[in-house]
Chain A
Amino acid sequence: MPKKTYRQAINEALRQEMERDPRVILMGEDVAGGMGSPGEDDAWGGPLGVTKGLMPRFGRERVLDTPITESAFIGAAVGAAVTGLRPVAELMFVDFFGVCFDQIFNQAAKFRYMFGGKARTPLVIRTMYGAGFRAASQHSQCLYSIFTHIPGLKVVLPSNAYEAKGLLIQAIRDDDPVIFFEHKAMYDEEAEVPDEPYTIPFGEANVTREGGDATIIAMGRMVNFANQVADELAKENIGVTVVDIRTTSPLDKETILETAAETGRVVVVDESHPRCSVATDIAALVAQEAFEHLEAPVKMVTAPHAPVPFSPALEDLYIPSPARIRRAVQEVLAFGR
């Protein structure tokens, strides 16, 4: 199978869905780039080149550069979705959701319910998240827990290029608003990705490692860190199961509870802050519904309750590391023994 980067996988999913369905359009700041400028057209393809090449192929009527006006264009994507298009809007960094959240959580998320089941809002918002880029406090946040909190939104966190393609195609074909989180530190990471279109259903977690001693539940980039730790520990004859939850909403409770019950020793890894987070949500779920199987308290490995610092020296301490995950696994393994 061909190897592709996370960036290429996303680009390919967009291209194939745009070919399949003329109602799929893209919009965002510099998603093509060069609008009105004297030099090269399609100059950017987004700040990290993810959508490059799509405008030349589909034209500016389907790949729309926008002014810097998130509230208006994200809202326009919502309005277009509820009236017959299938927009994929790019919110460049998820940190910018503060500018446009009303259109997402009061409008898009609630139409279906408020209108008595009469609305469909097939919208995808692609957005970059995560630390590690030395991008400081306003360009490094995770924030997916905030979207997960809102009924009516679906929230997707692909953990590699294969996942990204399948989950993005699923998102575009889905009839509800989907927030699609791309980790900015993963765009150059490669995986085997089929050329043909395929989908990965929402709400079905992926067990990426199987082992009998402890369970790590993770999402997004943290799945890779968890896999790394599981591989290291496997060499020491410690079996670690790793669950990639793939989507935080819907959440695959069944797989989480099953794998938690199997080992009774659970670590949840979440790059986000520790309060009111996906990690606390999963820890609460396990505590409430798998209590009788637990051999140790659930451990969380997260970023601290602090903004993301700029200085590389601080940012490296801030992000949950494989070493910290490993320590947490060792702690749950040691508990009560």
Chain B
Amino acid sequence: MQLSREELLHAYRQMRTIRAFEDRVHEEFQAGNIPGFVHLYAGEEACAVGFCIHLKEGDYIASTHRGHGHCIAKGCDVRAMMAEIFGKKSGLCGGKGGSMHIADLERGMMGANGIVGGGPPLVCGAALTAKTLKTGGVAIAFVGDGGSNQGTTLESYNLAKVWNLPAIFVIEDNGYAESTASSWAVAGSQVGRAAGFGMPGYEVDGHDFFAVYAIAREVVERARMGGGPSLVHVRFARYYGHFEGDAMTYRGKDEVPRLMAERDCLKLFRERVLEAALLDAAELDRIDHEVAELIDRATAEAKAAPMPTEADLLTDVYVSYS
């Protein structure tokens, strides 16, 4: 499978941006600068980027509580995202949403979601809009392994299939829902569930950007061509706790360091493109450097930005209220 140089550079930049963003949010949370519930996507970058790279303007995604990566991959403004997480008025949602509700409908990002299983029905709706208005658009629901057990998710498979919607269900299996293992909580298999609803189902190593990319291309194309929904079971690992502050005592002793050493999506990407001489190291280093600068700037700006004020408290409850 041939990715253009531009695509390769874009993919690497996006994955690196997500990683750097999450690492920084982690630090700032530890330092007590970020309040609330924060769930980080570090380790899972290849999935969001591998799918969203196939999306165009007019396509939609619905995310989960672990939504920063999907946001960045769908093209949301990183500086406004950081400001949002700091609760600032210049944030992507004016400081009203925070990490768990970060969203940008103009970019086709229907929101991180505080409700596990909240996204899949919304994606059926976005896919219905695309189908009805004949936009050629598709919609992707990112769903955790835990979220895959929610009734709303399973009902959405059925609805997407019987309405033949351009919808894609991406099951992001990081092994855990909070502290509970997906190997325990998920009866049957994700691919078997897809088969049960008459949908094509795939399983893929989510640390391998290229593997995700290939399957994503196939399912997005199918949806776009009117071929209906598909499900992709992506396996990977999260590096940080369920939320910031989680001591992760339920995980194996060397689990995370081992995964970071052996299956890190950024390292694997770098090795692969250097080995095949698709890009050179200096280009990748430059991206790392530029991303680090961007995140520094975004963080400094977010810290300096003003908080919303009393005048903002009651705005935007409705479009109009009379």
State the A residues within 8 Å of B (CB): 29-30, 33-41, 43-44, 47, 65, 67-72, 95-96, 98-99, 133-139, 304-307, 309-314, 317-318
Residues of B within 8 A of A (CB): 35-37, 87-89, 91, 93, 95-98, 100-101, 113-117, 146-147, 149-152, 176-186, 248-253, 255, 307-310, 312-314, 317
Q: Closest 8 CB pairs between A and B? A: A36-B184, A310-B98, A138-B114, A36-B181, A311-B87, A311-B95, A313-B307, A134-B35
Task: Enumerate chain B residues within 8 angstroms of A71, measured Cβ to Cβ.
Answer: 151
Contact of A318 among B113, B150, B151, B313 (CB under 8 A): B313
Structural contact, A310 and B178, CB atoms closer than 8 A: no
> Which chain B residues border A96 with CB–CB below 8 Å?
115
Q: Main secondary structure on chain A at its contact with chain B?
A: loop
Tell whether, in the assembled complex, residue B251 and residue A99 are in contact, meaning their CB atoms are under 8 Å apart: no
Given contacts A38-B251, A95-B115, contact A313 B179 (CB under 8 A): no
Contacts of A30 in B (CB 8 A): 178-180
Contact (Cβ within 8 A) B183 A312? no
Pair A311/B152 contact, Cβ less than 8 Å = no
Chain B residues closer than 8 Å to A67, beta-carbon distance:
146, 149, 177, 180, 185-186
Tell me if B114 and A37 are in contact (CB < 8 A).
no
CB <8 Å contact, B308 and A313: yes
Knowing that A33-B179, A38-B250, A136-B101 touch, tell me 15 more A-B residue pairs with CB under 8 angstroms. Answer: A35-B180, A36-B180, A37-B180, A38-B251, A43-B179, A65-B180, A67-B186, A134-B98, A136-B97, A305-B314, A305-B317, A310-B36, A310-B101, A311-B307, A314-B95
Smallest CB separation, A271 vs chain B (Å): 16
Where chain B touches its partner, the secondary structure class is loop
- Contacts A314-B308, A314-B313; A37 near B251 (Cβ below 8 A): yes
Q: Which of A43, A70, A317, A318 has the most CB of B within 10 A?
A: A43
- Given A310-B87, A313-B95: A99 and B37 interface contact (C-beta under 8 Å): no
> From A96, which residue of chain B is reached at the shortest CB distance?
B115
Of B117, B184, B250, B255, the most chain A CB neighbours within 10 A belong to: B250
Please list 15 pairs of residues, one from A and one from B, whose beta carbons are closer than 8 Å in the complex, sorted by A's number: A29-B178, A30-B178, A33-B179, A35-B185, A36-B183, A37-B179, A37-B180, A136-B36, A137-B97, A306-B313, A307-B96, A310-B98, A313-B307, A314-B96, A318-B313
Q: In the complex, which of the residues B100, B117, B176, B255 contacts A99, with contact meaning CB atoms closer than 8 Å?
A: B117
Contact across chains for A99 and B308 when beta carbons are under 8 A apart: no
B115 touches A39 (CB 8 A): no
Contact B184 A35 (CB under 8 A): yes
Question: Which of A38, A134, A317 is in CB contact (< 8 Å) with B36?
Answer: A134
Q: Are A137 and B114 in contact (CB under 8 A)?
A: yes
CB <8 Å contact, A312 and B317:
no
Which residues of B have CB within 8 Å of A318? Answer: 313
**Beyond A68-B146, A311-B96, A312-B307, is A135–B37 a contact (Cβ under 8 Å)?**
yes
Closest to A45 in B: B179
Chain B residue at minimum C-beta to C-beta distance from A29: B178
Interface centre among B93, B151, B309 (most CB of A within 10 A): B151
On whether the beta carbons of B312 and A314 are closer than 8 Å, the reply is yes
Given contacts A95-B115, A311-B98, are A69 and B179 in contact (CB under 8 A)?
no
Taking CB atoms, residues of chain A closer than 8 Å to B308 are 309, 311, 313-314
Q: How far is the CA of A71 from the CA of B117 in the complex (A)?
A: 12
Q: A29-B178, A136-B36, A310-B96 known; A99 and B151 CB under 8 Å?
A: yes
Question: What is the bound-complex CA distance between A309 and B180, given in angstroms?
Answer: 30
Q: Min CB distance, B175 to chain A, in Å?
A: 8
> What CA separation (Å) do A309 and B102 show in the bound complex?
13
Tell whether, in the assembled complex, residue A312 and residue B35 are in contact, meaning their CB atoms are under 8 Å apart.
yes
